[in-house]
Amino acid sequence: AKDPVRVLVTGAAGQIGYALVPMIARGIMLGADQPVILHMLDIPPAAEALNGVKMELVDAAFPLLKGVVATTDAVEACTGVNIAVMVGGFPRKEGMERKDVMSKNVSIYKSQAAALEQHAAPNCKVLVVANPANTNALILKEFAPSIPAKNITCLTRLDHNRALGQISERLNVPVSDVKNVIIWGNHSSTQYPDVNHATVKTPSGDKPVRELVKDDAWLNEEFITTVQQRGAAIIKARKLSSALSAASSACDHIRDWVLDTPEGTWVSMGVYSDGSYNVPAGLMYSFPVACKKGEWTIVQGLPIDEFSRKKMDATAEELSEEKSLAYSCLS
Ligand code: NAI
């Protein structure tokens, strides 16, 4: 039997946490033959609720679940973890300035970076979900210099999956037959969902999405804004933000990273830019990536037209501004 993998979920008493921990305990993140030990962190006001989640995990009697650590102590939470899913953060409340929210999250991610750097298992893989996801991940990277930059990522897989979902609905095909959309840039409304390289499986082979949809106006406008604004549409409908889809996409992100993307398929991940596609190096930016043996690489050589270029630059610009804002919170 395999040794258990220790998986940290921060903000585990929250909405996404409540959807995510049972998925992990069921083997959806790491495979149905991979035992896990869950580490759950939240803050003292949520300690009782966190303990309730722990009780439910016990009650569910998950065969793969070999242990649960539920704590409000970041060091205890981070100790020995192989995977860290950072969902905890400070939400934007009515009347709050962007800078104030940024400042709260910068200080959270700075201190959790230190706890991970000092106490996580070697080669720990980190996924930041909490918003502003790209910039929180960047801060985590800056304050955990001994964790390789390639081990620190942020979640844009939900946006990627939303794009697949929209194409699937439009063409009335199973979502599993659609692949290779791309989310470029920030997990925000400036993200650029790109279908120029996406394909659909048909009886006569893979066909480009553009060829099948035959409606460039829809693809260049409504499709893009629907994906960009989907988070807001869910809040409007549910009065709560996306949780099951965020949790499921976080599992997809880690599973593909650890267990490989299928041959010929790429996914979107927020990663530390090396300057690929003329995206400024040093931003946490969402790219198309393929994963093999636990490592992602940016898919290279895709042709970029002028329409795409502008949108890729606009979201990079926003990320540069967020980065400056984050740094101004540090000083
Ligand atoms: P939530 O408010 O229900 O849960 C957040 C939890 O984090 C709370 O239990 C809170 O007590 C905890 N927390 C706050 N500060 C903490 C700290 N310093 N350490 C540990 N835990 C802490 O929020 P929800 O709906 O679960 O969303 C979580 C985050 O994920 C939010 O920032 C949200 O904006 C973001 N999000 C990101 C998505 C993405 O695609 N990247 C999609 C959906 C949400």
> What atom in ligand 1 is closest to the CA of residue 17?
26
The verdict on whether residue 161 carries a ligand-binding annotation is no
DSSP notation for 110-136: HHHHHHHHHHSPTT-EEEE-SSSHHHH
Q: Percent of the chain scored above 70 by pLDDT?
A: 100
Q: Would you place residue 154 in the very low, low, confident or very high pLDDT band (cuts 50, 70, 90)?
A: very high
Summarised one tens digit per residue, pLDDT across range 155-169 is: 999 999 999 999 999
Nearest CA to ligand 1 atom 8: 14
Please tell me the distance between residue 9's alpha carbon and the centre of ligand 1 in angstroms.
10
Quote the mean pLDDT of the chain: 97
pLDDT given at position 24: 99
193 lines ligand 1 (CB under 6 A): no
> What atom in ligand 1 is closest to the CA of residue 108?
18
- Residue among 157, 134, 125, 185 nearest 249 (CA): 157
Count CA atoms closer than 13 A to 83's CA, side-chain side: 24
CB 30 within 8 A of CB 255: yes
241 lines ligand 1 (CB under 6 A): yes
Asked whether this complex has an ipTM greater than 0.90, the answer is yes
- Residue among 135, 168, 161 nearest 326 (CA): 135
Q: How deeply is 265 buried, as exposed, middle or buried, from its count of CB atoms within 10 A (0-12, 13-18, 19+)?
A: middle
Summarised one tens digit per residue, pLDDT across range 17-37 is: 999 999 999 999 999 999 999
Does the pLDDT value for residue 114 go beyond 90? yes
Q: What is the mean pLDDT of residues 100-110?
A: 95
21 lines ligand 1 (CB under 6 A): no
183 lines ligand 1 (CB under 6 A): no
Does the pLDDT value for residue 11 go beyond 90? yes
Task: Count H helices and E strands in the chain, helices first.
Answer: 12, 14
The verdict on whether residue 215 carries a ligand-binding annotation is no
The verdict on whether residue 16 carries a ligand-binding annotation is yes
254 lines ligand 1 (CB under 6 A): no
DSSP E strands, the chain: 5-10, 36-41, 65-71, 83-86, 125-128, 152-154, 178-179, 182-184, 192-194, 199-202, 205-208, 267-272, 284-292, 295-298
Please tell me the distance between residue 88's alpha carbon and the centre of ligand 1 in angstroms.
4
The verdict on whether residue 130 carries a ligand-binding annotation is yes
Q: Would you place residue 99 in the very low, low, confident or very high pLDDT band (cuts 50, 70, 90)?
A: confident
Q: Which two tokens stand for residue 214?
A: 């035959």
Q: What is the CA radius of gyration of the chain?
A: 19
**DSSP element (H, E) containing 50:** helix 47-59
Bridge partners of 70, per DSSP, are: 40
Does the pLDDT value for residue 97 go beyond 90? no
> What atom in ligand 1 is closest to the CA of residue 13?
9
Pocket test for ligand 1, best of 21, 69, 129 (most atoms within 8 A of CB): 129
Q: Would you place residue 262 in the very low, low, confident or very high pLDDT band (cuts 50, 70, 90)?
A: very high
The verdict on whether residue 281 carries a ligand-binding annotation is no
Does the pLDDT value for residue 96 go beyond 90? no
Does the pLDDT value for residue 93 go beyond 90? no
Distances (CA, A) of 261 to 200, 285, 294, 311: 17, 19, 10, 26
Does the pLDDT value for residue 95 go beyond 90? no
243 lines ligand 1 (CB under 6 A): yes
Q: Specify the long-range contacts of residues 302-311, CB closer than 8 Å, at least 24 apart.
A: 302/182, 302/196, 302/197, 302/277, 304/277, 305/196, 307/220, 308/184, 308/192, 308/194, 308/196, 311/184, 311/185, 311/192, 311/194
Q: Show which residues are catalytic.
A: 187
SS3 call for 96: coil
288 lines ligand 1 (CB under 6 A): no
Helices (H), ranges, 200-276: 209-213, 216-217, 223-228, 230-238, 244-259
Phi, psi of 291 (to 5 degrees): -120, 135
Q: How deeply is 122 buried, as exposed, middle or buried, from its count of CB atoms within 10 A (0-12, 13-18, 19+)?
A: exposed
> What atom in ligand 1 is closest to the CA of residue 46?
11
Nearest CA to ligand 1 atom 29: 130
